[in-house]
Amino acid sequence: MKKFLKTYKKYILIGLGIGLVIGLLIWILVVNFNKNQKVELAENKPLPTPFQDNLNSFNWSLPRNSYLLSENQKVKVFTILPYKEDILNIVKKLDEQAEEVSSSDLAIFWKSSNSMITYNKDTGVLIYKVLNQLNSHPINNLEDVISFVEKLVGYKATKDKIITKKLSDGGLSYRGKYDLENLSFGSIYLESYSFIINVSSEGNITEFSVFLYNPSSVNFYSLYSPIDSRQIVSTKKFIIKNLTWDKKYASKGSHLRVSVKLNTFDAKQLSSSYTFQDFTYGYIFPIYIVDGNAVYEDWEKTTYITETQLYILAIDGQYITKNTNFLTPPPD
């Protein structure tokens, strides 16, 4: 053995050296390949705007409570497809007696003596309104919420993504979002939540709204730079959602209501979120949500105060293209 090592020592060392060089080269190739894979992640692909330019003219400024995206980070956009299972399975879980009363290309309606159920195919939002609480589903805590959502629609909800709000009638509203990678998202028609469960003070569901989609269809589309913080207050890519209306607004005639225009907006808080609008658009995208109070005014100079949210597209406008395919109107 010693004689063998002495005779072939030089060749063994040369072989080990060659092996180390080859191993090093392979390691470098693998590292570079992984780096290239990351670099090849799509960036700044043209993206149709989800919002029509808002023509309301009013001044507002960023509130003190503003949680802005870092201008150095990238935000993601995903594509998404509609719910592919039979929606009737969910309807019957909610109310076995519910019968279809009308259907169109956009929506389906069911009704019984216990409830009314609607499903909008384009927005993916199903709304269940209880008419008879004696036959409602009981919800007493967050565990009940998680169990109810998972058993009904198969989507997992997590405790830390659910918030609870007190309702004026003494009941509670549970609001949650779906997880997507390290993000969470919901529907713009549900205040950017994935589901909202309102329960009475006795713990019975009075209304349940949920966003339905095909979980296996979600795919990464592109990375983008967020909108510059200085452009947030000047961009036209936003929609207005009025959460409440002044009581006197309902008592006015239609000729006055149609004349109402937004006069001032007092922003209280700004935060970021990921949201979905409709399947005609087909993307999950980042937005800023601005909570505040708005003052509307009609042509008689009567004012109306509302609790209002602005939903602002959070992507740098240079990557946004025109979109003429608006099927569903944005929230009011």
How confident is the model over 91-121, as pLDDT tens digits? 999 999 999 999 999 999 999 999 999 999 9
* DSSP structural state of residue 267: E
Cβ contact 231:318 at 8 Å: no
Structure tokens at 49: 């705007």
Q: Are strands 261-276 and 183-187 parallel, antiparallel or unpaired?
A: parallel
pTM of the model: 0.82
Contacts of residue 52, Cβ cutoff 8 Å, sequence gap at least 6: 323, 326, 330
Q: Is residue 230 scored above 90 in pLDDT? A: no
CA nearest 310: which of 6, 20, 88, 58?
A: 58
Radius of gyration of the chain (CA): 27
* Strand partners of residue 207: 129, 198
Q: Compute the distance between CA of residue 186 and CA of residue 96 in angstroms, rounded to an integer.
A: 27
More confident residue, 251 or 76: 76
Residue 56 pLDDT class (50, 70, 90 cuts): confident
Beta-carbon-side half-sphere exposure of residue 315 (alpha carbons within 13 Å): 24
Helix (H, G, I), strand (E, B) or coil at 304: strand
**Arithmetic mean of pLDDT, 272-288:** 95
* DSSP structural state of residue 315: B
More confident residue, 33 or 181: 181
Q: Compute the distance between CA of residue 92 and CA of residue 75 in angstroms, rounded to an integer.
A: 39
Type and span of the H or E element at 151? helix 142-153
Q: Are strands 303-313 and 99-103 parallel, antiparallel or unpaired?
A: unpaired
pLDDT at residue 309, as a whole number: 95
Measured CA distances, 61 to 53, 192, 229, 259 (Å): 19, 22, 11, 25
